Amino acid sequence: MLAALAVAGDSLQLDSGLPAATVNILTGLILVAVLGWTGRRTR
């Protein structure tokens, strides 16, 4: 998933002309959502 996000981010950056930092932030936010969504509750 990390590799897919990196490749998609690179494509997005090249196509839309976004700065690399934006792709990093988007990758991080998507991973936060995925990790938080798939995780279990402690209580």
Partner 1 sequence: MSLVVDVLAGAVRGGTSVMYAGLGETVSERAGVINLGTEGCMLVGALGGFAAAYESGNPWVGVLAGAASGGLLALVHAVLCVSRRANQFASGLNVLFLGLGLTSLFGTDYVGKQINALNPVPIPLLSQIPVLGPVLFTQDPLTSLSFATWQPLRVMAGAYLFGAALALSPELQAGGVGINQFALDVLPFVLTLLVLAFLGRRTLLSLPGLARPAADPPSGRGAGRVDYLTHFADCQAAGGGNRFGVPSSVPGLGGCGRRCAEIGTSAARSGPERGARGTGGVNGAVAAVQRVGRRARR
Binding site for partner 1 (CB under 8 A): 2, 19-29, 31-32, 35-36, 38-42
Of the pair 15, 38, the CB lying nearest partner 1 is at 38
Taking the complex as a whole, the smallest distance from the CB of residue 11 to partner 1 amounts, in Å, to 17
Decide: 23 and 10 in contact? Cβ < 8 Å: yes
Q: Provide the 3-class DSSP secondary structure of residue 1.
A: coil
Decide: 20 and 13 in contact? Cβ < 8 Å: yes
Cα–Cα–Cα angle for 12, 16, 20, rounded to 5 degrees: 60
Taking the complex as a whole, the smallest distance from the CB of residue 15 to partner 1 amounts, in Å, to 18
Of the pair 15, 26, the CB lying nearest partner 1 is at 26
